[in-house]
């Protein structure tokens, strides 16, 4: 389970993070999202993507969101050795690429959570706070961290970047 909340970026959050959080990495992430050959992932609120970044290539499945306040969902991630082969495999299995999401992500660690500052091409700048391999009970930790950065839980956005981009189209 990936337990995660997202907020619109506010002035000063990066400065605050540099003060109180531990920097982890800054990287470009290039995601290619696919539809399923026999169900509509937009309707089922699932997603499958290939992510490419400086750390390598991975295929990720994301299940439907399980919570109203956060964008928490089941996640299965498999690291693979080649983007081209992974793309070819998914195509052969009937999956079709539908959308690209490109962002520059700065990652920090704070109070047991991962905090990302995301500049997403065509969408805007956001803060994501996440606990990997967590349970939905961890969302209180996430809202505690959010509060430290000046966000109330009512400001949490449950839409994914993919949904934001699809909505703009």
CB of 113 to its own copies, least distance (A): 23
The residue (of 59 and 101) whose beta carbon lies closer to its own copies is 59
Alpha-helical segments (H) within the chain: 13-20, 41-44, 83-92, 139-148, 161-168
Catalytic residues: 33
Question: What CA–CA distances, in Å, run from 97 to 25, 31, 36?
Answer: 28, 10, 9
CB of 10 to its own copies, least distance (A): 35
CA–CA separation, 65 and 76 (whole Å): 14
The residue (of 89 and 98) whose beta carbon lies closer to its own copies is 89
The residue (of 32 and 156) whose beta carbon lies closer to its own copies is 32
Binding site for its own copies (CB under 8 A): 36-39, 46, 48, 59, 61, 63, 74, 76-82, 85-86, 88-89, 92-94
Question: What CA–CA distances, in Å, run from 81 to 51, 59, 86, 128, 132?
Answer: 12, 10, 8, 27, 23
CB of 89 to its own copies, least distance (A): 5
Q: Which residue has the tokens 């930790």?
A: 141
């Amino acid at each position: 389970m990936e337990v995660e909340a997202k907020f619109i970026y506010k002035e000063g959050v990066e400065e605050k993070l540099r003060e109180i959080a531990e920097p982890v990495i800054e990287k470009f992430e290039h995601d290619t999202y696919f539809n399923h050959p026999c169900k509509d992932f937009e309707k089922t609120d699932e997603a499958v993507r290939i992510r490419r970044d400086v750390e390598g290539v991975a295929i990720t499945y994301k299940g439907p969101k399980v919570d109203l306040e956060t964008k928490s969902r089941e996640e299965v991630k498999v690291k693979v050795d080649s983007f081209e082969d992974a793309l070819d495999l998914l195509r052969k299995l009937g999956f079709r690429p539908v959308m690209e999401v490109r962002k520059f992500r700065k990652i920090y660690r704070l109070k047991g959570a991962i905090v990302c500052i995301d500049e997403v091409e065509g969408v805007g700048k956001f803060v994501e706070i996440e606990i990997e391999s967590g349970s939905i009970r961890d969302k209180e930790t996430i809202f505690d961290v959010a509060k430290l950065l000046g966000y109330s839980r009512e400001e949490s956005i449950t839409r994914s970047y993919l949904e934001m981009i699809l909505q703009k189209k």
